[in-house]
Amino acid sequence: MTVAMIAVLLAQAPAGNYDEAKVPHYTLPAALGDVTTKADWPARRAAILEMFQREMYGRSGPRPKGVRFQMLETGSGALGGKAVRKQIRVDALIEVLLYLPSEAKGPVPVFLGLNYTGNQGVTLDPAVRVSTAWMRQPDNPRGGQASRWSIKRALDAGYGVATAYYGDLDPDFDDGFQNGIHPLFYRPGQTKPAADEWGSVGAWAWGLSRILDYLEQDKDVDAKRVAVLGHSRLGKAALWAGAQDERFGMVISNDSGAGGAALSKRIYGETVKDLNDRFPHWFAANFRKYNANECALPFDQHMLIALVAPRPVYVCSAQDDQWADPKGEFLSALHADPVYRLLAGDGLPVKEMPAIHQPAMGRVGYHIRAGKHDVTDYDWRQWIEFANRHWKPKK
């Protein structure tokens, strides 16, 4: 089989169940478990986190000591005068592109997410450095994914935007973990992650935390207000980053689907087996125990969202993205609500799935928009609105 043939196979999503009547009867563990007081939540949180580490995403490498940040380039008057641009190398590994509003009077909150095509793909700004790392596709022009990055809108609202290329951390294909960051953490003699150790989703999430390490020491950034976001497989990574690293002040999941916000036990659209068969490098090997065996999972994805509590979390779906199971994404947000209510007295303001373009925003937020699996300006407008509710930036 040629590489092109494999690419075509991967692009074709397997059939899957799209019939609500065929969703099996399933029981979700209560996110709170037996917890009835705030004081008892940290122990429950630690136990849930441990399950996700061991059984699904795998244990991540540690935060390295003495990480170096190198300012590669800065420019003012970028993006038609709206932005100050900074390009930073984090420990010879990750190249971060950061835009801050030119008008900022002090440290600003930042939206942070990884991108799929290199930093040059998110904007037409000719000064953005072109990624030379492994590429998912051969041609990644400047601005090729700009429609997914409403940077000017965020700047106008007083937010910064930071991004880095996910391939800087781990190329997105199964090579037995020879490339990317995993080998940097192998014990002597180790050649691949153990069954309870991280895959690529874990590596991407780890990278988001390393970028936050940088943002924490940039005096132009309000690092307690960094919203980690991601689309699709990078939405899975954003949720996992926000679940583990409590320094992230907000988490936004866009169309993250199976292995992200969507409940696994519904077996609607993409299943655990689909994930593990088609992307064997994404999760810990232990996760394969649940192939065609979702009922054995001791947790479900609502508990991942609950790990973000009490920090604001926002889940988005798209109507034509049934592969990602919009209803399962909504139900995760809904079933995380009791943890938010206990810790913050506020959660998801609705009990039924909202109609198209009717965002529900409390401390937990959710929307479903018309259209396909993608990130649109509509999504960004809601994220900004959601962030404004919690962190209205000074202008």
Binding track, positions 206-235, relative to ligand GCU; x by CB under 6 A: --------------------------xx--
Q: What is the dihedral of CA 99, 102, 108, 110, to 10 degrees?
A: -20
Distance of CA 221 to the CA centre of its chain: 20
DSSP 11: H
Longest dimension (CA), the chain: 57
Minimum distance of ligand GCU from residue 172's CB (angstroms): 9
Q: HEC states along 265-315? A: CCCCECCHHHHHHHCCCCCCHHHHHHCCCHHHCCCCHHHHHHCCCCCCEEE
Binding track, positions 294-313, relative to ligand GCU; x by CB under 6 A: --------------------
22, amino acid identity: K
Site for ligand GCU contains 270 (CB under 6 A): yes
Nearer to ligand GCU, 79 or 275 (CB): 275
Nearer to ligand GCU, 203 or 384 (CB): 203
Nearer to ligand GCU, 108 or 238 (CB): 238
d(CA 335, CA 12): 31
Site for ligand GCU contains 120 (CB under 6 A): no
Q: What is the dihedral of CA 377, 107, 123, 81, to 10 degrees?
A: 100
Other beta carbons within 10 Å of 20 = 9
Distance of CA 94 to the CA centre of its chain: 17
Minimum distance of ligand GCU from residue 302's CB (angstroms): 18
Minimum distance of ligand GCU from residue 258's CB (angstroms): 5
Minimum distance of ligand GCU from residue 257's CB (angstroms): 5
Angle at 122 between CA 118 and CA 124, to 5 degrees: 110
Site for ligand GCU contains 167 (CB under 6 A): no
Nearer to ligand GCU, 258 or 360 (CB): 258
- On the 0-12 / 13-18 / 19+ scale of CB atoms within 10 A, 143 is middle
Of residues 234 through 263, those in contact with ligand GCU by CB under 6 A are: 257-258
d(CA 157, CA 151): 10
Minimum distance of ligand GCU from residue 197's CB (angstroms): 21
Minimum distance of ligand GCU from residue 274's CB (angstroms): 6
Nearer to ligand GCU, 45 or 231 (CB): 231
Site for ligand GCU contains 267 (CB under 6 A): no
DSSP 28: P
Pick the catalytic residue: 60, 131, 150, 232? Answer: 232
Binding track, positions 310-329, relative to ligand GCU; x by CB under 6 A: -------------x------
CA nearest 128: which of 83, 90, 68, 167? 83
Asked if 373 is an active-site residue, the reply is yes
Site for ligand GCU contains 13 (CB under 6 A): yes
Give the total of residues touching ligand GCU (CB under 6 A): 7
Q: Which residues bind ligand GCU (CB under 6 A)?
A: 13, 232-233, 257-258, 270, 323
Residue numbers annotated as active site: 232, 373
